[in-house]
Amino acid sequence: MTAQHIVRSYDEELKRLTNAIVEMGGSAESQLDQAIQAVAKRDSELAGRVVRNDSAIDQLEEVVQSQTVRLLALRQPVARDLRDILAAIKIASDIERIGDLAANIAKRAIALNQSAPVRPVAAVPRMGRLAQQAIKDVIDAYVEHDARKAIAVWQRDDDLDDLTSSLFRELLTYMMEDPRSISPCAHLLFIAKNIERIGDHATNIAETVHFLVIGQRPASARPKGDTSSYEVVEPPPDSGGAPEGRGDR
């Protein structure tokens, strides 16, 4: 990218920091992948593994934090070096959250497997793939110091938001039609929301990469595509509204 530092160990320390972030990103991506598979294939054992593996990402975050503290104390970084280090702390904390959300998806997969399969599960793998791609691309953008690639991830988050909103509507309708599905559908709602949140963390990372490369946050505010917060689905007039304690499982 640029010239080397006069002190070579400084370069090596910065490189180690980047490597730790890349490793965290890779782990988060694979945790999400397996959590989604656990949902799609109703694999509780796999889900259990994902929950247990989350601590590995937490440990990596601690490594990143102690390295950044060390670099700040010993090197007094300025300009791009300083942004590099600040970016590493921020990105590590976003990835750590992604890991938590993936683990939560896995936990809910175990809960989902307690009840009969519901149709809207079919939308989850597609959402998962989008989120996974976003993590992969944004970590690539970080490694390559590519602000344009970061912005692309930032803009693509809309697609994930749209999918979340439509799955939300679908789940509401489904729950109204069959109250026995409320329990699995509620878990699915949270799974969808978790994936959507993972997308948001990827856009946070994209903003951090932009800051790292350009020195500023992206100029315009990203339009919020997820409208599920405002979503209302009216029960069909003939279904008589609220269930009268007949299918609470």
Rounded to a whole number of angstroms, the minimum distance from the CB of residue 83 to other proteins is 8
Q: From residue 12 to residue 51, what is the string marking binding to other proteins with x (rule CB under 8 A)?
A: ----------------------------------------
Q: Contact between 6 and other proteins (CB under 8 A)?
A: yes
Contact between 34 and 78 under an 8 Å Cβ cutoff? The reply is no
Window 49 to 78, contacts with other proteins (CB under 8 A): 76-78
Rounded to a whole number of angstroms, the minimum distance from the CB of residue 146 to other proteins is 17
Closer Cβ to other proteins, 14 or 153, answer by number: 14
Contact between 53 and 178 under an 8 Å Cβ cutoff? The reply is no
In this structure, is the dihedral angle defined by the CA atoms of residues 232, 42, 104 and 183, taken in order, positive or negative?
positive
Q: Contact between 220 and other proteins (CB under 8 A)?
A: no
Rounded to a whole number of angstroms, the minimum distance from the CB of residue 215 to other proteins is 4
Cα 40 from chain centre: 18
Closer Cβ to other proteins, 59 or 216, answer by number: 216
Cα 128 from chain centre: 9
Spatial distance between the Cα atoms of 38 and 110, rounded to a whole number of angstroms: 8
Contact between 97 and 194 under an 8 Å Cβ cutoff? The reply is no
Q: Which stretch binds other proteins (CB under 8 A): 1-9, 122-130, 145-153, 239-247?
A: 1-9
Q: Contact between 229 and other proteins (CB under 8 A)?
A: no
Closer Cβ to other proteins, 42 or 83, answer by number: 83
Spatial distance between the Cα atoms of 111 and 46, rounded to a whole number of angstroms: 13
Spatial distance between the Cα atoms of 29 and 35, rounded to a whole number of angstroms: 10
Q: Contact between 8 and other proteins (CB under 8 A)?
A: no
Closer Cβ to other proteins, 77 or 125, answer by number: 77
Angle between helices 79-112 and 8-40 (to 10 degrees): 20
Q: Contact between 79 and other proteins (CB under 8 A)?
A: yes
Q: Which residues are within 8 A (CB) of 147 and not within 5 positions of it... i.e. 6 or more apart?
A: 141, 209, 210, 213, 214
Closer Cβ to other proteins, 15 or 52, answer by number: 15
Provide the binding-site residues for other proteins, judged by CB under 8 A.
2-7, 10, 76-83, 215-216
